[in-house]
Chains A and B, each alone.
Chain A
Amino acid sequence: MPGASKFERLACASNDWIQVMVEGQPVKVRPGDSAAAALLAAGQSAARTSAVSGDPRAPYCLMGICFECLLEIDGVPNVQGCMVQVADGMNIRRQQGAPVLNDSLAAGVPA
Protein backbone atom coordinates (compact mmCIF):
# COMPACT_ATOMS: atom_id res chain seq x y z
CA MET A 1 0.00 0.00 0.00
CA PRO A 2 2.04 2.95 -1.21
CA GLY A 3 0.76 6.42 -0.61
CA ALA A 4 1.41 9.56 1.38
CA SER A 5 3.81 8.67 4.17
CA LYS A 6 2.36 8.64 7.63
CA PHE A 7 5.76 9.84 8.79
CA GLU A 8 7.40 13.21 8.34
CA ARG A 9 11.05 14.11 8.55
CA LEU A 10 12.08 16.87 10.97
CA ALA A 11 15.11 19.09 10.46
CA CYS A 12 18.13 16.83 10.85
CA ALA A 13 21.40 17.41 12.66
CA SER A 14 23.41 16.44 9.61
CA ASN A 15 22.64 16.82 5.95
CA ASP A 16 23.69 13.38 4.71
CA TRP A 17 21.27 11.60 2.45
CA ILE A 18 21.59 8.38 0.53
CA GLN A 19 19.30 6.70 -1.95
CA VAL A 20 17.65 3.31 -1.58
CA MET A 21 14.97 1.53 -3.59
CA VAL A 22 11.73 0.78 -1.76
CA GLU A 23 9.35 -1.44 -3.72
CA GLY A 24 11.19 -0.40 -6.85
CA GLN A 25 10.93 3.34 -6.21
CA PRO A 26 13.99 5.49 -5.44
CA VAL A 27 13.76 7.11 -2.00
CA LYS A 28 16.11 9.50 -0.22
CA VAL A 29 16.85 8.33 3.31
CA ARG A 30 19.30 9.12 6.09
CA PRO A 31 22.31 6.91 6.74
CA GLY A 32 21.08 6.32 10.32
CA ASP A 33 17.75 4.91 9.14
CA SER A 34 16.90 1.25 9.47
CA ALA A 35 15.40 -0.48 6.45
CA ALA A 36 12.09 -0.55 8.35
CA ALA A 37 12.28 3.23 8.91
CA ALA A 38 13.03 3.72 5.21
CA LEU A 39 9.95 1.68 4.38
CA LEU A 40 7.75 3.84 6.61
CA ALA A 41 9.31 7.05 5.32
CA ALA A 42 8.55 5.87 1.79
CA GLY A 43 4.85 5.63 2.59
CA GLN A 44 4.54 1.88 2.84
CA SER A 45 2.31 1.19 5.80
CA ALA A 46 2.80 -2.58 5.92
CA ALA A 47 6.03 -4.55 5.83
CA ARG A 48 4.63 -8.00 5.28
CA THR A 49 1.58 -10.16 5.46
CA SER A 50 0.82 -12.53 8.29
CA ALA A 51 1.91 -16.08 7.58
CA VAL A 52 -1.39 -17.39 8.94
CA SER A 53 -4.24 -15.11 7.79
CA GLY A 54 -2.47 -13.02 5.17
CA ASP A 55 -3.41 -9.82 7.02
CA PRO A 56 -1.04 -6.87 6.54
CA ARG A 57 1.48 -6.31 9.32
CA ALA A 58 3.69 -3.31 10.04
CA PRO A 59 6.73 -2.68 12.21
CA TYR A 60 5.50 -2.64 15.82
CA CYS A 61 8.56 -2.34 18.08
CA LEU A 62 11.45 -1.24 15.82
CA MET A 63 13.90 -2.86 18.24
CA GLY A 64 14.10 -6.44 17.13
CA ILE A 65 11.38 -7.96 19.32
CA CYS A 66 8.22 -8.45 17.27
CA PHE A 67 9.47 -9.68 13.86
CA GLU A 68 6.64 -7.78 12.14
CA CYS A 69 9.18 -5.93 9.99
CA LEU A 70 10.42 -8.94 8.00
CA LEU A 71 11.50 -7.61 4.60
CA GLU A 72 13.24 -8.77 1.52
CA ILE A 73 16.51 -6.87 1.41
CA ASP A 74 18.79 -7.11 -1.61
CA GLY A 75 17.00 -10.27 -2.59
CA VAL A 76 17.32 -11.97 0.81
CA PRO A 77 13.92 -12.74 2.34
CA ASN A 78 12.96 -12.72 6.05
CA VAL A 79 15.38 -10.00 7.12
CA GLN A 80 14.44 -8.10 10.27
CA GLY A 81 14.17 -4.65 8.70
CA CYS A 82 14.47 -2.70 11.93
CA MET A 83 17.85 -4.29 12.70
CA VAL A 84 19.47 -3.46 9.38
CA GLN A 85 20.87 -0.05 8.62
CA VAL A 86 20.31 1.30 5.11
CA ALA A 87 23.17 1.41 2.61
CA ASP A 88 23.38 3.34 -0.63
CA GLY A 89 21.50 1.51 -3.35
CA MET A 90 19.90 -1.01 -0.99
CA ASN A 91 16.92 -2.76 -2.49
CA ILE A 92 14.07 -3.04 0.01
CA ARG A 93 10.91 -4.97 -0.69
CA ARG A 94 7.95 -5.96 1.39
CA GLN A 95 7.86 -9.60 2.38
CA GLN A 96 5.40 -11.07 -0.07
CA GLY A 97 3.20 -13.89 1.09
CA ALA A 98 3.96 -16.22 3.92
CA PRO A 99 7.52 -15.92 5.21
CA VAL A 100 9.35 -19.15 4.64
CA LEU A 101 11.17 -19.82 7.85
CA ASN A 102 13.46 -22.54 6.71
CA ASP A 103 16.81 -22.07 5.03
CA SER A 104 16.89 -18.30 5.18
CA LEU A 105 15.98 -17.87 8.83
CA ALA A 106 17.31 -20.45 11.19
CA ALA A 107 16.14 -18.84 14.41
CA GLY A 108 12.58 -18.57 15.48
CA VAL A 109 11.69 -22.18 14.93
CA PRO A 110 12.30 -23.73 18.32
CA ALA A 111 12.99 -27.40 18.01
Chain B
Amino acid sequence: MSAHDVDLAIIGAGPAGMAAAATAAQLGLKTVLLDEQKGPGGQIYRSITQPAPADENILGKDYYHGRSLALALKNTSLDYRPGTSVWALDQDLTLSLSGNGQSQRIRPRRLLIATGAQERPVPFPGWTLPGVMTCGAAQILLKSSALVPTQPLILAGSGPLLLLIAAQLHRAGVAIEAILDTTPPRHYLAALKYLPGALRNLPLLAKGAGLLAELRRAGIRRITGVSELRALAGPDGTLGQVRFRQGKKAQTLSATTLLVHQGVVPNVQLSRSLNLSHDWDQLQQCWRPHTDSWGESSLPGLFVAGDGAGIAGALAAEAFGKLAALQIARQLNVISAQQRDQQSQRARRTLNQQRAIRPFLDALYSPAREFLLPADETLVCRCEEVTAGELRRLARDGCPGPNQAKAFCRAGMGPCQGRMCGLTVSQLMADERQVPNSEIGYYQIRSPIKPLRLGELADSAH
Protein backbone atom coordinates (compact mmCIF):
# COMPACT_ATOMS: atom_id res chain seq x y z
CA MET B 1 0.00 0.00 0.00
CA SER B 2 1.33 3.48 -0.66
CA ALA B 3 -0.05 7.02 -0.54
CA HIS B 4 -3.08 7.67 1.61
CA ASP B 5 -5.43 10.57 1.76
CA VAL B 6 -4.40 11.62 5.25
CA ASP B 7 -4.35 15.20 6.55
CA LEU B 8 -2.33 14.55 9.67
CA ALA B 9 -0.31 11.65 10.98
CA ILE B 10 0.69 11.75 14.65
CA ILE B 11 3.43 9.56 16.07
CA GLY B 12 2.93 8.90 19.78
CA ALA B 13 -0.23 8.58 21.86
CA GLY B 14 1.02 10.23 25.03
CA PRO B 15 -0.60 13.42 26.33
CA ALA B 16 0.76 15.48 23.41
CA GLY B 17 -0.33 13.06 20.69
CA MET B 18 -3.70 12.30 22.29
CA ALA B 19 -4.58 15.98 22.73
CA ALA B 20 -3.47 16.77 19.18
CA ALA B 21 -5.43 13.85 17.76
CA ALA B 22 -8.64 14.73 19.58
CA THR B 23 -8.35 18.40 18.53
CA ALA B 24 -7.59 17.59 14.90
CA ALA B 25 -10.29 14.96 14.57
CA GLN B 26 -12.88 17.28 16.11
CA LEU B 27 -11.97 19.90 13.52
CA GLY B 28 -12.63 17.32 10.81
CA LEU B 29 -9.02 16.61 9.83
CA LYS B 30 -8.48 13.11 8.57
CA THR B 31 -6.09 12.01 11.30
CA VAL B 32 -4.03 8.89 11.94
CA LEU B 33 -2.58 8.30 15.43
CA LEU B 34 0.22 5.76 15.63
CA ASP B 35 1.83 4.29 18.73
CA GLU B 36 3.96 1.26 19.29
CA GLN B 37 2.31 0.60 22.64
CA LYS B 38 -0.79 -1.61 22.83
CA GLY B 39 -2.85 1.16 24.40
CA PRO B 40 -2.90 4.96 24.64
CA GLY B 41 -1.25 6.96 27.42
CA GLY B 42 2.40 7.42 26.53
CA GLN B 43 4.85 7.26 29.43
CA ILE B 44 3.04 9.12 32.17
CA TYR B 45 -0.38 7.56 31.47
CA ARG B 46 0.95 4.16 30.41
CA SER B 47 -1.72 1.42 30.60
CA ILE B 48 -4.32 4.05 31.50
CA THR B 49 -7.16 2.07 29.91
CA GLN B 50 -6.19 -0.98 31.98
CA PRO B 51 -3.99 0.00 34.92
CA ALA B 52 -2.85 -3.10 36.78
CA PRO B 53 -2.92 -2.11 40.48
CA ALA B 54 -6.29 -2.44 42.24
CA ASP B 55 -5.52 0.41 44.63
CA GLU B 56 -5.82 3.75 42.81
CA ASN B 57 -4.08 5.60 45.65
CA ILE B 58 -0.77 4.09 44.60
CA LEU B 59 -0.41 5.92 41.30
CA GLY B 60 -2.42 8.93 42.44
CA LYS B 61 -4.89 11.24 40.76
CA ASP B 62 -2.46 12.91 38.35
CA TYR B 63 -2.09 9.51 36.70
CA TYR B 64 -5.81 8.89 36.37
CA HIS B 65 -6.23 12.31 34.72
CA GLY B 66 -5.03 10.45 31.62
CA ARG B 67 -8.38 8.63 31.46
CA SER B 68 -10.12 11.74 30.14
CA LEU B 69 -7.56 12.06 27.34
CA ALA B 70 -7.90 8.41 26.34
CA LEU B 71 -11.68 8.70 26.45
CA ALA B 72 -11.63 11.74 24.18
CA LEU B 73 -10.02 9.60 21.47
CA LYS B 74 -13.02 7.30 21.40
CA ASN B 75 -15.57 9.91 20.46
CA THR B 76 -13.96 10.90 17.18
CA SER B 77 -13.51 9.61 13.66
CA LEU B 78 -9.82 9.19 14.43
CA ASP B 79 -7.88 6.32 12.88
CA TYR B 80 -5.98 5.16 15.98
CA ARG B 81 -3.50 2.36 15.40
CA PRO B 82 -1.90 0.91 18.53
CA GLY B 83 0.91 -1.58 18.21
CA THR B 84 2.37 0.33 15.27
CA SER B 85 6.01 1.45 15.17
CA VAL B 86 7.28 4.17 12.90
CA TRP B 87 10.72 3.11 11.75
CA ALA B 88 11.56 5.63 9.05
CA LEU B 89 10.62 9.10 7.86
CA ASP B 90 11.35 10.74 4.52
CA GLN B 91 11.86 14.43 3.78
CA ASP B 92 8.49 14.49 1.99
CA LEU B 93 6.85 13.38 5.29
CA THR B 94 6.31 9.79 4.18
CA LEU B 95 6.23 7.45 7.17
CA SER B 96 7.23 3.82 7.14
CA LEU B 97 5.26 1.88 9.72
CA SER B 98 5.12 -1.63 10.90
CA GLY B 99 2.45 -3.31 12.96
CA ASN B 100 1.25 -6.89 13.25
CA GLY B 101 4.19 -8.03 11.18
CA GLN B 102 3.26 -5.85 8.22
CA SER B 103 4.81 -2.75 6.80
CA GLN B 104 3.09 0.18 5.24
CA ARG B 105 3.93 3.67 4.04
CA ILE B 106 1.68 6.70 4.37
CA ARG B 107 2.24 10.23 3.21
CA PRO B 108 0.20 12.70 5.23
CA ARG B 109 -0.15 16.40 4.46
CA ARG B 110 1.21 17.24 7.89
CA LEU B 111 3.19 15.20 10.39
CA LEU B 112 3.42 15.57 14.15
CA ILE B 113 6.17 13.81 16.07
CA ALA B 114 4.96 13.38 19.67
CA THR B 115 7.35 10.63 20.73
CA GLY B 116 8.07 12.12 24.15
CA ALA B 117 11.08 11.57 26.32
CA GLN B 118 13.31 8.81 27.57
CA GLU B 119 14.97 8.75 30.94
CA ARG B 120 18.47 10.12 30.79
CA PRO B 121 20.82 7.15 30.88
CA VAL B 122 22.70 7.17 34.20
CA PRO B 123 26.23 5.89 33.61
CA PHE B 124 28.24 5.01 36.71
CA PRO B 125 30.46 2.07 37.63
CA GLY B 126 28.31 -1.05 37.88
CA TRP B 127 25.21 0.28 36.12
CA THR B 128 25.04 -2.74 33.80
CA LEU B 129 24.53 -5.22 36.66
CA PRO B 130 21.22 -7.08 36.72
CA GLY B 131 19.30 -5.50 39.59
CA VAL B 132 20.02 -1.95 38.45
CA MET B 133 17.21 -0.38 36.45
CA THR B 134 15.68 3.03 35.99
CA CYS B 135 12.98 4.46 38.24
CA GLY B 136 10.81 4.74 35.14
CA ALA B 137 11.23 1.02 34.46
CA ALA B 138 10.01 0.22 37.98
CA GLN B 139 7.06 2.56 37.40
CA ILE B 140 6.20 0.77 34.15
CA LEU B 141 6.16 -2.56 36.03
CA LEU B 142 3.86 -0.95 38.58
CA LYS B 143 1.43 0.59 36.08
CA SER B 144 1.20 -2.28 33.60
CA SER B 145 1.80 -5.31 35.78
CA ALA B 146 1.35 -4.34 39.46
CA LEU B 147 4.85 -5.73 39.98
CA VAL B 148 7.07 -4.15 42.63
CA PRO B 149 10.70 -4.83 43.51
CA THR B 150 11.34 -6.57 46.81
CA GLN B 151 13.80 -5.46 49.45
CA PRO B 152 16.46 -4.40 50.02
CA LEU B 153 15.60 -1.63 47.59
CA ILE B 154 17.56 1.58 47.08
CA LEU B 155 16.65 4.56 44.91
CA ALA B 156 19.40 6.88 43.75
CA GLY B 157 19.47 10.05 41.72
CA SER B 158 17.85 13.41 41.43
CA GLY B 159 14.62 14.99 40.24
CA PRO B 160 10.87 15.13 40.81
CA LEU B 161 10.22 11.76 39.17
CA LEU B 162 12.57 10.07 41.65
CA LEU B 163 10.50 11.40 44.54
CA LEU B 164 7.20 10.56 42.81
CA ILE B 165 8.19 6.97 42.15
CA ALA B 166 9.54 6.57 45.69
CA ALA B 167 6.17 7.76 46.99
CA GLN B 168 4.24 5.47 44.63
CA LEU B 169 6.29 2.45 45.72
CA HIS B 170 5.84 3.40 49.35
CA ARG B 171 2.07 3.65 48.88
CA ALA B 172 2.22 0.19 47.33
CA GLY B 173 3.64 -1.09 50.63
CA VAL B 174 7.21 -1.51 49.39
CA ALA B 175 9.94 -0.94 51.98
CA ILE B 176 12.61 1.45 50.74
CA GLU B 177 15.99 1.06 52.38
CA ALA B 178 17.19 4.53 51.39
CA ILE B 179 16.86 7.28 48.83
CA LEU B 180 20.31 8.46 47.81
CA ASP B 181 19.87 12.04 46.63
CA THR B 182 22.69 12.97 44.28
CA THR B 183 21.55 16.58 43.81
CA PRO B 184 24.73 18.62 44.39
CA PRO B 185 24.07 20.94 47.36
CA ARG B 186 25.26 23.99 45.40
CA HIS B 187 22.36 23.51 42.97
CA TYR B 188 19.97 24.80 45.62
CA LEU B 189 21.67 28.16 45.46
CA ALA B 190 21.93 28.09 41.67
CA ALA B 191 18.20 27.42 41.40
CA LEU B 192 17.24 30.32 43.66
CA LYS B 193 17.51 32.91 40.94
CA TYR B 194 14.81 31.08 38.99
CA LEU B 195 12.42 30.98 41.92
CA PRO B 196 10.26 33.91 40.71
CA GLY B 197 9.37 31.93 37.55
CA ALA B 198 8.64 28.85 39.62
CA LEU B 199 6.24 30.83 41.77
CA ARG B 200 4.01 31.07 38.69
CA ASN B 201 3.28 27.40 39.17
CA LEU B 202 2.47 27.07 42.85
CA PRO B 203 0.49 23.84 42.46
CA LEU B 204 3.55 22.03 41.11
CA LEU B 205 5.84 23.47 43.79
CA ALA B 206 3.30 22.39 46.40
CA LYS B 207 3.19 18.93 44.88
CA GLY B 208 6.95 18.59 45.17
CA ALA B 209 6.90 19.76 48.77
CA GLY B 210 4.03 17.34 49.43
CA LEU B 211 6.03 14.41 48.08
CA LEU B 212 9.00 15.27 50.26
CA ALA B 213 6.74 15.55 53.29
CA GLU B 214 5.08 12.22 52.45
CA LEU B 215 8.46 10.47 52.26
CA ARG B 216 9.57 12.10 55.51
CA ARG B 217 6.39 11.07 57.33
CA ALA B 218 6.89 7.54 56.06
CA GLY B 219 10.25 7.52 57.82
CA ILE B 220 12.16 6.74 54.63
CA ARG B 221 15.84 7.52 54.98
CA ARG B 222 16.85 10.18 52.47
CA ILE B 223 20.59 10.64 52.26
CA THR B 224 21.45 13.94 50.59
CA GLY B 225 24.63 15.17 48.97
CA VAL B 226 25.48 11.69 47.69
CA SER B 227 28.40 11.28 45.28
CA GLU B 228 30.66 8.56 43.85
CA LEU B 229 27.74 6.17 43.33
CA ARG B 230 28.73 2.66 42.39
CA ALA B 231 26.99 -0.71 42.16
CA LEU B 232 28.84 -3.85 43.23
CA ALA B 233 28.06 -7.43 42.24
CA GLY B 234 27.09 -10.03 44.80
CA PRO B 235 28.23 -13.68 44.68
CA ASP B 236 25.68 -14.54 41.95
CA GLY B 237 26.89 -11.83 39.60
CA THR B 238 23.87 -9.61 40.11
CA LEU B 239 23.65 -6.45 42.23
CA GLY B 240 24.75 -7.05 45.81
CA GLN B 241 25.76 -3.70 47.24
CA VAL B 242 25.58 0.01 46.59
CA ARG B 243 28.53 2.12 47.57
CA PHE B 244 28.60 5.91 47.75
CA ARG B 245 30.00 8.86 49.57
CA GLN B 246 28.21 11.44 51.67
CA GLY B 247 30.54 14.29 52.39
CA LYS B 248 33.75 12.64 53.53
CA LYS B 249 32.07 9.43 54.61
CA ALA B 250 32.08 6.37 52.35
CA GLN B 251 29.12 4.03 52.92
CA THR B 252 28.03 0.65 51.62
CA LEU B 253 24.49 -0.71 51.72
CA SER B 254 23.19 -4.13 50.68
CA ALA B 255 20.67 -4.10 47.86
CA THR B 256 18.98 -6.46 45.43
CA THR B 257 17.40 -3.62 43.44
CA LEU B 258 18.81 -0.19 42.69
CA LEU B 259 16.52 2.22 40.85
CA VAL B 260 18.31 5.17 39.27
CA HIS B 261 17.06 8.43 37.80
CA GLN B 262 18.58 11.67 36.51
CA GLY B 263 15.62 13.27 34.78
CA VAL B 264 14.29 12.77 31.27
CA VAL B 265 15.53 13.98 27.89
CA PRO B 266 13.78 14.30 24.51
CA ASN B 267 13.65 11.20 22.35
CA VAL B 268 15.35 12.59 19.25
CA GLN B 269 15.72 9.41 17.23
CA LEU B 270 13.19 10.35 14.54
CA SER B 271 14.00 14.06 14.42
CA ARG B 272 17.71 13.24 14.12
CA SER B 273 17.10 10.70 11.37
CA LEU B 274 15.69 13.55 9.28
CA ASN B 275 18.55 15.90 10.15
CA LEU B 276 16.14 18.46 11.56
CA SER B 277 17.93 21.32 13.21
CA HIS B 278 18.47 20.76 16.95
CA ASP B 279 19.41 23.15 19.74
CA TRP B 280 21.60 22.28 22.70
CA ASP B 281 19.66 23.09 25.87
CA GLN B 282 22.32 24.07 28.38
CA LEU B 283 20.02 24.06 31.41
CA GLN B 284 18.49 20.67 30.56
CA GLN B 285 21.81 19.31 29.29
CA CYS B 286 20.26 17.74 26.20
CA TRP B 287 19.36 18.32 22.56
CA ARG B 288 15.93 19.29 21.37
CA PRO B 289 14.62 19.79 17.86
CA HIS B 290 14.24 23.44 16.98
CA THR B 291 10.56 24.47 16.69
CA ASP B 292 8.51 27.63 16.49
CA SER B 293 5.88 28.43 19.10
CA TRP B 294 3.38 26.08 17.37
CA GLY B 295 5.83 23.20 17.20
CA GLU B 296 6.77 23.48 13.51
CA SER B 297 10.31 22.22 12.99
CA SER B 298 13.01 23.25 10.53
CA LEU B 299 11.23 21.06 7.95
CA PRO B 300 8.02 22.84 6.89
CA GLY B 301 4.92 20.78 7.60
CA LEU B 302 6.65 18.64 10.20
CA PHE B 303 5.75 19.46 13.80
CA VAL B 304 7.21 18.25 17.09
CA ALA B 305 5.23 18.69 20.33
CA GLY B 306 5.37 17.46 23.91
CA ASP B 307 8.45 16.37 25.81
CA GLY B 308 10.08 15.37 22.52
CA ALA B 309 10.40 19.07 21.74
CA GLY B 310 11.93 19.94 25.13
CA ILE B 311 11.08 18.67 28.59
CA ALA B 312 8.16 20.50 30.19
CA GLY B 313 5.97 17.73 31.65
CA ALA B 314 2.64 16.11 30.90
CA LEU B 315 0.31 19.11 31.24
CA ALA B 316 2.56 21.14 28.97
CA ALA B 317 2.67 18.25 26.49
CA GLU B 318 -1.12 18.12 26.39
CA ALA B 319 -1.33 21.87 25.77
CA PHE B 320 1.45 21.85 23.18
CA GLY B 321 -0.20 18.98 21.29
CA LYS B 322 -3.38 21.00 21.05
CA LEU B 323 -1.53 24.09 19.82
CA ALA B 324 0.23 22.09 17.10
CA ALA B 325 -3.09 20.62 15.93
CA LEU B 326 -4.68 24.08 15.76
CA GLN B 327 -1.82 25.47 13.69
CA ILE B 328 -1.97 22.47 11.38
CA ALA B 329 -5.73 23.02 10.94
CA ARG B 330 -4.93 26.65 10.16
CA GLN B 331 -2.33 25.68 7.55
CA LEU B 332 -4.79 23.30 5.93
CA ASN B 333 -7.38 26.10 5.82
CA VAL B 334 -9.83 24.37 8.11
CA ILE B 335 -9.86 27.29 10.55
CA SER B 336 -8.87 30.94 10.25
CA ALA B 337 -5.95 32.53 12.05
CA GLN B 338 -8.45 34.26 14.29
CA GLN B 339 -10.20 31.01 15.18
CA ARG B 340 -6.84 29.42 15.85
CA ASP B 341 -5.85 32.22 18.19
CA GLN B 342 -9.17 32.10 20.01
CA GLN B 343 -9.12 28.36 20.48
CA SER B 344 -5.52 28.32 21.58
CA GLN B 345 -5.74 30.81 24.44
CA ARG B 346 -6.15 28.34 27.29
CA ALA B 347 -3.57 25.91 25.98
CA ARG B 348 -1.07 28.73 25.46
CA ARG B 349 -1.61 29.91 29.05
CA THR B 350 -1.13 26.39 30.40
CA LEU B 351 2.00 25.86 28.33
CA ASN B 352 3.55 29.13 29.50
CA GLN B 353 2.70 28.40 33.12
CA GLN B 354 4.14 24.88 32.95
CA ARG B 355 7.27 26.13 31.24
CA ALA B 356 7.79 28.92 33.76
CA ILE B 357 8.82 26.48 36.48
CA ARG B 358 11.27 24.56 34.29
CA PRO B 359 14.40 26.73 34.70
CA PHE B 360 14.06 26.36 38.47
CA LEU B 361 13.62 22.57 38.28
CA ASP B 362 16.29 22.21 35.62
CA ALA B 363 18.87 24.19 37.59
CA LEU B 364 18.06 22.36 40.82
CA TYR B 365 18.01 18.86 39.36
CA SER B 366 20.68 19.17 36.70
CA PRO B 367 22.65 15.90 36.88
CA ALA B 368 25.80 15.98 38.95
CA ARG B 369 29.00 16.08 36.90
CA GLU B 370 29.82 12.44 37.65
CA PHE B 371 26.76 11.32 35.64
CA LEU B 372 27.42 13.67 32.70
CA LEU B 373 31.14 12.96 32.58
CA PRO B 374 31.49 9.55 34.22
CA ALA B 375 34.69 8.10 35.68
CA ASP B 376 37.07 6.45 33.19
CA GLU B 377 36.20 2.88 34.16
CA THR B 378 32.44 3.39 33.50
CA LEU B 379 30.89 1.64 30.50
CA VAL B 380 29.36 4.45 28.47
CA CYS B 381 28.20 2.39 25.49
CA ARG B 382 26.55 -0.62 27.08
CA CYS B 383 26.05 -2.45 23.79
CA GLU B 384 29.65 -2.40 22.60
CA GLU B 385 31.18 -1.99 26.07
CA VAL B 386 33.13 1.18 25.48
CA THR B 387 34.39 2.98 28.58
CA ALA B 388 34.53 6.68 29.32
CA GLY B 389 38.32 6.38 29.51
CA GLU B 390 38.49 5.00 25.98
CA LEU B 391 36.36 7.84 24.63
CA ARG B 392 38.47 10.42 26.44
CA ARG B 393 41.58 8.90 24.96
CA LEU B 394 40.12 9.03 21.47
CA ALA B 395 39.22 12.70 21.93
CA ARG B 396 42.72 13.46 23.21
CA ASP B 397 44.19 11.69 20.20
CA GLY B 398 42.33 14.11 17.95
CA CYS B 399 39.09 12.29 17.16
CA PRO B 400 36.81 15.21 16.27
CA GLY B 401 33.36 13.95 17.28
CA PRO B 402 30.90 11.14 18.01
CA ASN B 403 30.57 9.89 14.43
CA GLN B 404 34.29 9.46 14.03
CA ALA B 405 34.51 7.86 17.50
CA LYS B 406 31.90 5.38 16.35
CA ALA B 407 34.19 4.25 13.56
CA PHE B 408 37.14 3.86 15.93
CA CYS B 409 35.56 2.12 18.92
CA ARG B 410 32.06 1.07 17.79
CA ALA B 411 30.35 3.22 20.46
CA GLY B 412 26.78 3.74 19.26
CA MET B 413 26.90 0.87 16.75
CA GLY B 414 25.04 -1.68 18.88
CA PRO B 415 21.36 -2.52 18.88
CA CYS B 416 20.27 0.59 20.84
CA GLN B 417 21.67 2.83 18.08
CA GLY B 418 23.22 5.26 20.51
CA ARG B 419 20.08 5.89 22.54
CA MET B 420 22.00 4.97 25.70
CA CYS B 421 25.38 6.53 25.02
CA GLY B 422 24.74 9.38 22.55
CA LEU B 423 24.48 12.21 25.06
CA THR B 424 27.39 11.01 27.17
CA VAL B 425 29.70 10.46 24.19
CA SER B 426 29.04 14.00 22.93
CA GLN B 427 29.55 15.50 26.36
CA LEU B 428 32.73 13.57 27.11
CA MET B 429 34.25 14.60 23.79
CA ALA B 430 33.18 18.22 24.16
CA ASP B 431 34.67 18.33 27.64
CA GLU B 432 37.91 16.64 26.68
CA ARG B 433 38.38 18.84 23.63
CA GLN B 434 37.14 21.97 25.43
CA VAL B 435 34.62 22.87 22.75
CA PRO B 436 30.88 23.54 23.17
CA ASN B 437 28.42 20.66 22.79
CA SER B 438 26.76 22.45 19.92
CA GLU B 439 30.02 22.19 18.03
CA ILE B 440 30.68 18.53 18.82
CA GLY B 441 27.21 17.52 17.62
CA TYR B 442 25.53 14.14 17.87
CA TYR B 443 25.44 10.76 16.18
CA GLN B 444 24.09 10.63 12.68
CA ILE B 445 20.95 8.51 13.12
CA ARG B 446 19.92 6.26 10.25
CA SER B 447 16.70 4.39 9.70
CA PRO B 448 15.31 1.92 10.38
CA ILE B 449 15.21 3.35 13.90
CA LYS B 450 13.25 0.35 15.20
CA PRO B 451 14.01 -3.36 14.92
CA LEU B 452 12.43 -4.86 11.87
CA ARG B 453 12.24 -8.38 10.60
CA LEU B 454 13.80 -8.63 7.18
CA GLY B 455 10.47 -9.84 5.84
CA GLU B 456 8.93 -6.52 6.84
CA LEU B 457 11.67 -4.60 5.07
CA ALA B 458 10.98 -6.63 1.96
CA ASP B 459 7.23 -5.90 2.25
CA SER B 460 7.83 -2.21 2.35
CA ALA B 461 9.78 -2.30 -0.88
CA HIS B 462 6.58 -3.12 -2.79
Contacts and interface: CB of A to CB of B under 8 A. Distances in A.
A32 interface: yes
Contacts of A53: 385
Interface stretch (B137-145, B156-164, B212-220, B297-305): B137-145
B372 interface: no
Interface string A8-52: 111111100000000000000010111001001100011000111
A66 B382 contact: yes
Interface in A56-74: 56-68, 70
Contact of A107 (B121, B132, B144, B417): B417
Interface in B440-462: 444-446, 448-454, 456-457
B274 interface: no
Contacts of B456: 106
A61 B87 contact: no
Given A6-B257, A13-B54, A61 B119 contact: yes
B146 A9 contact: yes
A55 B129 CA distance: 8
B43 A11 contact: no
Interface string B82-102: 000001000000000000000
B416 interface: yes
Contact of B448 (A14, A34, A99, A106): A106
Interface in A79-105: 79-80, 82-83, 85, 99, 101, 103-105
B118 A65 contact: yes
B385 A12 contact: no
Contacts of A55: 128, 237
Interface of B: 36, 38, 43, 47, 50-55, 58, 87, 118-119, 121, 128-134, 136-137, 140-142, 144-150, 172-173, 236-238, 256-257, 267, 382-385, 412-417, 419-420, 444-446, 448-454, 456-457
- Which of B52, B149, B385, B449 has the most A CB atoms < 10 Å from its CB? B52
A27 to B, nearest CB: 13
A7 B416 CA distance: 26
B64 to A, nearest CB: 12
Given A7-B147, A107-B452, A58 B53 contact: no
Contact of B238 (A46, A99, A106, A107): A46
A4 to B, nearest CB: 8
B414 A11 contact: no
Nearest to B381: A52
A11 B53 contact: yes
Contacts of A107: 87, 415, 417, 448-452
B130 A12 contact: no
A59 B453 CA distance: 21
Nearest to B138: A62
B119 to A, nearest CB: 7
B130 A45 contact: yes
B385 to A, nearest CB: 4
User: Do most interface residues of chain B lie in helix, strand or loop, or is the interface mixed?
Assistant: loop
B131 A58 contact: yes
Interface of A: 1, 5-14, 30, 32-34, 37, 40-41, 45-46, 50-53, 55-68, 70, 78-80, 82-83, 85, 99, 101, 103-111
B436 to A, nearest CB: 25
A6 B133 CA distance: 12
Contacts of B446: 110-111
A99 B415 CA distance: 9
Given A6-B257, A7-B148, A14-B50, A61 B136 contact: yes
Contacts of A111: 446
A62 B140 contact: yes
B50 A32 contact: yes
Nearest to B419: A65
Contact of A12 (B53, B136, B238): B53
A59 B448 CA distance: 22
B454 A106 contact: yes
Nearest to A80: B451
Nearest to A7: B147
Nearest to B456: A106
Contacts of A9: 145-147
Nearest to A57: B128
A37 B142 CA distance: 10
Nearest to A12: B146
A1 B451 contact: no
Given A11-B146, A50-B128, A107-B450, A60 B52 contact: no
Given A37-B144, A40-B147, A108 B38 contact: no
Residue among B140, B256, B384 with the most chain A CB within 10 A?
A: B140
A32 B140 CA distance: 11
Nearest to A60: B133
Contact of A30 (B129, B145, B257, B454): B145
A16 B49 CA distance: 15
A46 B132 CA distance: 11
A1 B52 contact: no
Given A8-B147, A51-B414, A108-B415, A61 B137 contact: yes
